[in-house]
A and B are shown apart, each in its own frame.
Chain A
Amino acid sequence: MRAFVVAVFAFLYLPIALVVLFSFNAGHHASEFTGFSAQWYGKALSNPFLVEALKNSLFIATTSAVLAAFCGTAAALGLQRVGARTRAAFDALLGAAIVVPGVVIGISTLVALVQLFAVVNPFLASLWPTGQPPRLALGYGSIIAAHGLFSMALVTMIVGTRLASLDRNLVEASSDLYATPLTTFRSIVLPQIMPAVIAGFLLAFTFSFDDFIIAFFVAGAQTTLPIYVFASIRRGVTPEINAIATIVLAASVLLVLLAQWQLGRRKPSP
């Protein structure tokens, strides 16, 4: 059995290792490794389209993860204070936001937003006194909102799990000692759930940064890094893509490790 497990780990990591190895290939061809070189990284990072896509992805991932961390944490706190029925309804919707395949989230958001814009844009134009009226369109906003949906549900679940295991005695002790609810929250609850919030934020960032399929539908004229990479892959496999893939993989691994470390922290240091 041990041999089998070792083989599975090799199966999981060898392909990734190969991509990383060939990103340092001096030669052009994927079949032979002709020596170490970082030239493909230089090429990738001097490609303006790629840098633009990378910046877009960073902006979208940061914004959607920040929004998700705030709204998700607030929701997890709020769900502690409501009845079983409201809670069940929320849990069902949050579960759906996580489980519904990205392709369905993508197209349904696309359909709804296009219909909404078709109503709102003429209305905005009629209100606008002079000059060019603002026009709502697919782009940053729609990607952030669609990514944030999944991320917020994820944060709510992670923080909710942490809240469920929170030491109630501390909260009661705090209010017995005449702390206001806000003080209790700031000095007792928040420090205890903070690792979960940070972990949720990091995973939300990773999700948004890596997502292709949702952004593919709702990006409009914008390009994210996965969309750019997908388009390049379809044109052909090059060491330049390996270099980008390596950067993205390294970033994801780092973020996930950070998230796990945060979740593993049982008690925050005072």
Chain B
Amino acid sequence: MRGSLFRKNLVTALLLAPAAAWLVVFLVLPFVAIAIFSVGERAPEGGYQAALTLAQYANLPARATAFWNTMVLAPVGALGCLLVAYPVAYYLALRAPQRWRLILLALIVIPFWTSLLMRTYAWMYILGGRGIPALLAYVGIEDLRLINTPGAVLLGIVYGYLPLMILPIYVSLERLDRRLLEASADLGATPLSTFLGVTLRLSLPGVMTGFSLVMILLLGEYLIPTLLGGGKVFFIGNALVDLFLQSRNWPFGSAIAITLVLVSVVVLIVANRISTRLSGARRVDLI
């Protein structure tokens, strides 16, 4: 009996070992590495020099524009996604004919798993000089600049992250107990108050999940501001690429990255608090 227990534990350990090693070597250790770098100093030739200082964090205001742009456009973009996503998720979960539901859902999932680079490129194409501005020039509206503006970045954000917002909201609406809606109507509630008091309230965990996921991914976004903002709308992601690949100030870049992770954690905790307060936590399926 002892032997079989030992064998059982050995099998468990062997099953978990590769994943555990992967998580430790390529997630935990790298995170520890940038945490150490973030309290270090920049070597004169651009590398890392061991130190214990908060100078890098004190220097964060030097990249205030990137932080400002990200901290404004990420929540605004996530809100834009939400406003477009909610009616779609509502329709899919509660109104769409059964036989269409899965097809429509697949049509939402597909863009989520297709290259963000290619999908952002599509908008570069549409907003660029030979796209909409060229069409508008035909009808006499000249010199309209669409690309390389904050508006273009916002549009790209909504386009890129819409599926990620729709899916969790759909999941929470789909699991909604329909009898609650009937009960609410039977008790004389107007459709609007049923929506506000029952539907919206019970779907809030999905809303919070979608909002926080989109927010967090937007905090690290690089492609959309680069391609649609044209170097005029700088995000934290742009600052990180610059600091790590061009100006090679790794300690400062590490401090920015750690700050980014901390902000993400705060966003997650706040979103989690809100949704557990309003109702039980719910799982999200990304596929």
Per-residue contact bits, chain A 229-240, to B (CB 8 Å; 1 contact, 0 not): 110010001000
- Contact between A252 and B113 (Cβ–Cβ < 8 Å)? yes
Give the chain B neighbours of A193 by CB distance below 8 A: none
**Interface: B117 (CB within 8 A):** yes
Question: Does residue B139 face the partner (Cβ distance < 8 Å to A)?
Answer: no
Q: In the bound complex, what is the Cα–Cα distance between A245 and B104 (angstroms)? A: 23
- Distance in Å: Cβ of B11 to nearest Cβ of chain A: 8
Q: How far is the CA of A233 from the CA of B115 in the complex (A)?
A: 14
A54 on the B face (CB < 8 A): no
Are B88 and A108 in contact, CB atoms less than 8 angstroms apart?
no
Within 8 A of A (CB), among B219-235: 219-223, 227
A31 interface residue (CB < 8 Å to B): yes
* Cβ 8 A contact of B84, one of A8, A107, A156: A8
Q: How many A-B residue pairs have CB under 8 A?
A: 241
Contact (Cβ within 8 A) A19 B125:
yes
Q: Are B116 and A210 touching (Cβ within 8 A)?
A: yes
Q: Mark B224-259, 1 if CB is under 8 A from A, else 0.
A: 000100000000010011001100001001100100
Interface size class of A (residues with CB under 8 A): 35 or more
Question: Residue A30 contacts which of B26, B111, B113, B125 (CB distance < 8 angstroms)?
Answer: B125
Is B101 in contact with chain A by the CB < 8 A criterion? no
**CA separation between A233 and B28, bound complex, in Å?**
34
CB B253 to nearest CB in A, in angstroms, measures: 7
- Docked-complex contact A257 and B220, CB < 8 angstroms: no
Q: Which residues of B contact A78 (CB under 8 A)?
A: 12-16, 19
CB atoms of A237 and B124 under 8 A apart: yes
Report yes or no: B264 in contact with A18, Cβ–Cβ below 8 A.
no
Contact (Cβ within 8 A) B115 A226: yes
Contact status B16-A108, CB under 8 Å: no
Contacts of A110 in B (CB 8 A): 244
Return the contact of B121 from the options A8, A19, A145, A149 (Cβ within 8 A): A19
Whether B91 pairs with A104 at a CB distance below 8 angstroms is: no
Which of B95, B125, B159, B237 makes the CB contact (< 8 A) with A18?
B125
- C-alpha gap A93/B283 in the complex (Å): 17
Asked whether A256 lies within 8 Å of B114 as measured between CB atoms, the reply is yes
- Tell me, yes or no, whether B63 is within 8 Å of chain A by CB: no
Instruction: Tell me the interface secondary structure of chain B in the complex.
Output: helix
Per-position 1/0 for B17-30, Cβ under 8 A of A: 01110110111111
Determine chain A's interface SS by DSSP, over half rule: helix
B216 CB-CB contact with A under 8 Å: yes
> B15 and A199: CB pair below 8 A?
no
A53 within 8 A of B: no
B67 at the interface (CB under 8 A from A): no
**Inter-subunit contact A260/B30 (CB<8 Å):** no
**Known interface pairs A1-B87, A15-B123, A108-B30; A71-B22 also in contact (CB < 8 Å):** yes
- Given known A-B contacts A2-B91, A75-B19, A233-B227, A249 and B115 have beta carbons under 8 A apart: yes
Q: A5-B87, A74-B16, A145-B26 are contacts. A217–B245 as well, Cβ < 8 Å?
A: yes
Given contacts A13-B111, A103-B260, 4 further A-B contacts (CB under 8 A): A8-B84, A11-B84, A82-B16, A101-B237
Q: List 21 A-B contacts (CB under 8 A).
A: A1-B87, A4-B91, A12-B159, A15-B119, A16-B114, A19-B122, A31-B134, A74-B14, A75-B19, A90-B20, A102-B220, A103-B240, A112-B34, A207-B113, A217-B244, A226-B117, A229-B118, A248-B115, A255-B113, A257-B110, A260-B109
Closest 6 interchain pairs by CB? Answer: A101-B220, A78-B15, A108-B30, A75-B19, A15-B122, A112-B30
Which residues on A are within 8 Å of B, measured CB to CB? 1-2, 4-5, 8-9, 11-13, 15-16, 18-19, 22, 29-31, 70-72, 74-75, 77-79, 81-82, 90, 93-94, 96-97, 99-105, 107-113, 115, 145-146, 148-149, 152, 156, 158, 161, 199, 203, 206-207, 209-210, 212-213, 216-217, 226, 229-230, 233, 237, 241-242, 245, 248-249, 252-253, 255-257, 259-260, 263-264
